[in-house]
Amino acid sequence: MLLLGVAQIAPGKSVTGTVRLAGGGAPASGVRVVAIPVNEPSALVSLSQTDQQGRYVLEDIPPGRYFIAAGPVAFLTFYPGTSEQNAARAIDITNDSTVISRIDFTLSSAPLGMVPGNALLESGPSCCRFQGQVVTEDGSPLPAMPFQIVNRSGAGVAANYIYPEARFYISLPLGTQAYLVMDGLPPGYFLKSAPYGSQDMALGPVLVDGKSPATLKLTVGYRALSTLQPTIASGNINSLPPELKAASFSLTSTMPGGPTVVAALQPDRSFVFPSIPVGAYRAGIVSPAGHASVSSILVVIRDTVSNLKIDFGDNPFPEMGGVYPSPSPFVDGKEITQKLVGNKPAYFRMNVTDANGAVTPWAIYTPNSSFVPRIVPGETYTVTGTVARDGTNRLNANPF
């Protein structure tokens, strides 16, 4: 069972390649391979499995920007061969491409305690299969990243992927001692409680008796911020659209009350944080006027890092407030004629619905805002445009 949201897709393009095993490069057969949208990391739009030669084919991928990943859901290897999504290389599927080939990479070595192939979810024992939800002690969102629920006492590992419902499944053999921990959580987070009957699997070994409810509620707690080790982080911002005027780069802690650290952006888009606590952060930018914003991009810092890569997807309309494309602010498609006035260039976003009812987001530029027509139902405008790296359609034509 894959604990991933599955996106509804239409016929599209294909990606092919080969997956090899770490430590020798032998073909990795029978390994899952998925395409994950960069702007929706909790969904997948295509799934395949490697053959005896380690070859795979991902089909029907709509235009957009994707990570290609292989292996167990709890420990994915991202193309070009990294277990860190921040270091993954996204590929662009465009209307012009038919097949993107030679997306080859080698699986990362699995961490200690990993069940090979994560077969437990498919072939676990008849008792006892647990399910439940992961929550935080104060109701704050848990960072959306892969993790493992591990039984310190022995048998039982569940592959999990945090998504909006934050649900999980785990198999623990009857009569075993269960002592649960969560591996892969960002620094500062830990499993605080996992009640099972009158006992708690997060506090010490608990006998799996098959009688207590098989529904668990795992609560994640926070460590004191003062205990988090400071470190150095540096890197570069990639694909920051020129329409966004950014003077500084910021990282905002995902922990309640956590710090926000800001570093100046150099002309080459590089940055340095000389002292930053390890942990999970949301990436953001600060405009020259001091307007700050926070994006949905998750950055996890576990130790000193000198090659941190932040990719904003070449999108002039990132999903964050406070910083807007220049020279005009974001304007909802329904309010174009009311808010865009004058004869200056403007950027705006609107959803376009085609004859089949499919809705596509468009980022639109007009050299003269007075050109923006008053669109009414039943009227049709034929225009030309291009597909940006993040899959957003860009329009640059009259009357727009």
Enumerate the β-bridge partners of residue 282.
252, 298
Sequence letter at residue 112: L
Helix, coil or strand: residue 363: strand
Torsion, Cα of 197, 201, 207, 209 (10° steps): 40
The answer for residues whose C-beta is within 8 angstroms of residue 193's C-beta and 6 or more apart is 200, 202, 203, 218, 219, 221
Pull the structure tokens for residue 136: 């935080």
CB atoms under 10 Å from CB of 292, counted, come to: 17
**Ranges in the chain annotated CATH 2.60.40.10:** 5-106
Buried-exposed string 160-182: b where 16+ CB fall within 10 A, e elsewhere = bbbeeebebbbbbbeebbbbbbb
Residue 109 DSSP one-character state? P
Q: What is the pLDDT of residue 337?
A: 39
Q: What is the pLDDT of residue 278?
A: 96
Pull the structure tokens for residue 305: 């890092």
CATH superfamily of 229-311: Carboxypeptidase-like, regulatory domain (2.60.40.1120)
The answer for residues whose C-beta is within 8 angstroms of residue 313's C-beta and 6 or more apart is 38, 39, 65, 239, 389, 390
Residue 226 DSSP one-character state? G
**Ranges in the chain annotated CATH 2.60.40.1120:** 229-311
Output the pTM of the full model.
0.57
Q: What is the pLDDT of residue 383?
A: 64
Pull the structure tokens for residue 199: 């006992």
Whole-number CA gyration radius for the chain: 24
Task: Spell out the per-residue pLDDT of the chain, length 400, in tens.
Answer: 233 333 333 346 889 999 988 777 888 887 888 898 888 766 677 888 888 889 999 988 888 899 999 876 656 889 999 888 778 899 988 877 678 889 999 987 644 333 333 333 333 334 577 778 888 999 888 887 777 788 887 665 554 555 556 677 777 777 778 899 888 889 999 999 999 888 999 999 988 877 777 788 899 999 998 899 999 999 999 888 776 778 999 999 999 889 999 999 999 999 999 999 999 999 999 988 888 888 888 899 999 999 999 988 766 666 665 555 554 434 444 344 334 445 566 666 667 777 677 777 676 666 666 666 666 666 666 666 677 666 666 665 444 4
Specify whether the CB–CB gap between 169 and 158 falls below 8 A: yes
Q: Please tell me the class of the 116-222 domain.
A: mainly beta
Architecture of the domain delimited by 5-106: Sandwich (2.60)
What's the Cα-to-Cα distance from 141 to each of 213, 220, 255, rounded to whole Å?
Answer: 26, 10, 9
Specify whether the CB–CB gap between 153 and 178 falls below 8 A: yes
